[in-house]
Structure 1
């Protein structure tokens, strides 16, 4: 086991004689399953690992990485995004870190349902957590000031169910049916998570709905939110129809604290909010199993960006902020705060900006800046 060597000076030391005692403190060690994936995932994942290793040395944490080639590239050569026993291979890791998935040569539904969704559902990662923040120094597209909110997205059911099918392919009467599935357990647990989170922030929850037009599932969602709310008397809440909510998120993002939403609504809202905060390249995400029965998975939001893959121009902030969320989940709250502070420092005190933020900085320049700030 790795040790930290620390110099301890006894209280009776003098200028004539300094006695050094060496003591050894075991470092916490965590095994992380790395899935760099496709495109810029192979560039931002090493960046996140470099920052994790640096902050780990400061806080007495060591990370051991097992890397898996699960990706569209693997699909094109082997016919599957991951092996049949993929979940079993990563089941006992402390966390999973995913870079990005997607390639123009593989249909999006093939890559998604071949990797991300099996992991999310197999490991009951029913909370998708997406913090959104406009850092000082980042030029957002809006004139609004403060943007600091979290989207809590239901992650394993809702509109992204497997129930449905296609009939009469190729004929004029061809049809497709997709069923949305909302369960009392699924809705209640994600709503409880959102209200609990709001207690640690500014104490307000907004529920995204569309119960005026979707007659069964969203009134059911509304009823369950109303049932949960009284258990949190210290948290205020309201609900907004998704179309109006999207408009208000652009016009006045500062009014929102925690937004809880179904799988589809949360997916759309979090990408919209990331753009409001300057760039989707900054946005982090976590797929959480709050009970910790299974490992949680952490991934930046930005996707594989094949147009810039291999150029060294990817924004690593989304991956690095994602690493901070992983640190927090693993119990290293101060280490996570140090990483977020480093992000804020770089944006506030330097001119470093990648292409998506209107600059010319390369990925390795950003990583070097992070390592310099972290010391």
Structure 2
């Protein structure tokens, strides 16, 4: 039996609820698929790590992550950290930057039996994760923001050909495996050199993917298109900040931000992380929706399955996706989706459903 070592970083807010819920479902799916085991490695991160180690992401955590096959990252509440930690790069940004996790893959898919703004939504946003207009990720050292005077604040937005090429290739390859349609989102009519370069490089690479239909929209127009006809889109590729905004919008359009999963990856490593935040207002109440974290974990299994040519992991990922969809369709939903199930009960229902699929 193959054993993989996966990190567990519960984080802040609802993290200690939704991350264990995901571990429960992953274990159930792997047991159903057979042939693979997980050695779960708990690691400190977030406010509890500040209290115990003096850092939100201790150096020991980064060192341990480097020796693992992947990890589950819970949400963080860095806005509530004491200084100087509040002003530093947040935990997820620290990990993404340290391991150069350049691709943030964020699906948005509606469920049968649950309300969605646009029924039939089934798209994936491929977000460049290291540059763009998020200043804290645009520089080797420093925040990328500065104030020459107390009344002037400046942030750098950086786009490089190399970064666009590698994220565009990820997007084209994904589109080729799906419905063979790729949409490039930019603002090249105003940000002519930066997002203009993003658009140009994507168009250049399109020549190598003649089987993929390519179109493009300005970011402001794209928000309108998603609200009106999200079901028309397949794979969307864009820079860092645009991708963050669009994926939150797409999650709500599909039914709830609580169902919005994501995986952050390089060619060597991957991290499961729900697209939503830590929701401190509902932390500890057993009402948080664990779907986004559960599906993020499934995406990690699928990524690992492809990387290691392990069909058991790929099958387990598919079982989780089916198990979540069947559970929602059967009427078990959390409060944000109009139901009454708690976090633990929903996760157990998915685990039970997954066991019954084999």
TM-score normalised by structure 1 residue count: 0.87
| Structure 1 residue 114 displacement after superposition | 3.7
- In 2, the alpha carbon distance for the partners of 1:117 and 1:302 equals 14
Is 2:297 the counterpart of 1:316? no
Q: Partner residue of 2:309?
A: none
Alpha-carbon separation, structure 2, partners of 1:180 and 1:358: 40
* 1:340 and 2:321 are equivalent in the alignment: yes
CA–CA distance in structure 1, aligned partners of residues 152 and 51 of structure 2: 29
Q: Aligned partners of 1:34 and 1:111: how far apart in 2?
A: 25
1:38 pairs with 2:12: yes
Q: Is the 8 A contact 1:100 1:304 kept in 2?
A: yes
The 5-angstrom pairing of residues 269-308 of structure 1 reads 269-289=246-266, 291-292=267-268, 295-308=269-282
What secondary structure does 2:72 align onto? strand
Which stretch of the first structure deviates more once superposed, 232-241 or 157-166? 157-166
SS of 1:231 mapped into structure 2: coil
Which of 1 and 2 has higher RCO (CA within 8 Å, sep 6+)?
2
Deviates more, 1:102-111 or 1:352-361: 102-111
Does 2:96 match 1:120? yes
Instruction: Tell me, yes or no, if the aligned pair for 2:26 and 2:316 is still in contact at 8 Å.
Output: no
Shift of 1:229: 0.5
- Distance of 1:342 and 1:111 partners within structure 2: 40
Q: Is contact 1:123–1:296 with CA below 8 Å preserved after alignment?
A: no
How many residue pairs are counted as aligned between the two chains? 339
Q: Distance in 2 between matches of 1:49 and 1:111?
A: 31
Partner of 1:232: 209
Aligned to 1:194: 171
CA distance in 2 between partners of 1:102 and 1:139 (Å): 29
Indicate the residue corresponding to 1:138 in structure 2.
114
- Give CA deviations for 1:96-129 in whole Å, capped at 9, x if unaligned: 1101111552279938714212211221210000
| Residue number in structure 2 paired with 1:81 | 56
1:125-156 per-residue CA deviation (whole Å, 9 max, x = no partner) reads: 1000001100111111x2x3310000000001
Q: Which has the higher helix share?
A: 2
Gaps of 5+ in 1: 1-26
Instruction: Point out where structure 2 has 5 or more consecutive residues left out of the alignment.
Output: 306-312
Q: Does 1:184 align with 2:161?
A: yes
Q: Judging changes above 3 Å, is the alpha-carbon distance between structure 1 residues 205 and 107 closer, same or farther for their aligned structure 2 residues?
A: farther
* 1:62-121 C-alpha deviation (Å, 9 max, x unpaired): 111111121023335654212234322210100011011115522799387142122112
Contact 1:39 1:103 in 2 (8 A): no
Q: 1:39–1:305: 8 Å Cα contact kept in structure 2? A: yes
Structure 2 counterparts to residues 61-100 of structure 1, below 5 A: 61-75=36-50, 78-100=53-75
The residue number in structure 2 matching 1:22 is none
Q: CA contact under 8 A between 1:198 and 1:257: conserved in structure 2? A: yes
- Residues 176 and 71 (structure 1 numbering): CA distance in 2 closer, same or farther, change over 3 Å? same
TM-superposed CA distance for 1:230, in Å, is 0.3
TM-score (norm 2): 0.91
CA contact (8 A) 2:44 2:58 kept: no
1:302-337 deviations in Å (ceiling 9; x for gaps) = 211111100111111111111110110111221111
Residue pair 1:102, 1:111 contacting (<8 A) in 2 also: no
How far apart, in 2, do the equivalents of 1:244 and 1:104 lie? Answer: 31
Bigger CA radius of gyration = 1
**Counterpart of 2:131?**
157
Verify: 1:167 aligned to 2:144, yes or no: no
Please provide the CA RMSD for this pair. Answer: 1.7
Q: Distance in 1 between matches of 2:200 and 2:323?
A: 42
* 1:135-182 C-alpha deviation (Å, 9 max, x unpaired): 111111x2x33100000000011112243312333xxxx211111111
CA distance, structure 2, for counterparts of residue 107 and residue 177 of structure 1 = 25
Is 2:347 the partner of 1:367? yes
CA distance in 2: counterparts of 1:264 and 1:49, whole angstroms = 30
**Using the alignment, how far apart are the partners of 2:88 and 2:240 within structure 1?**
14
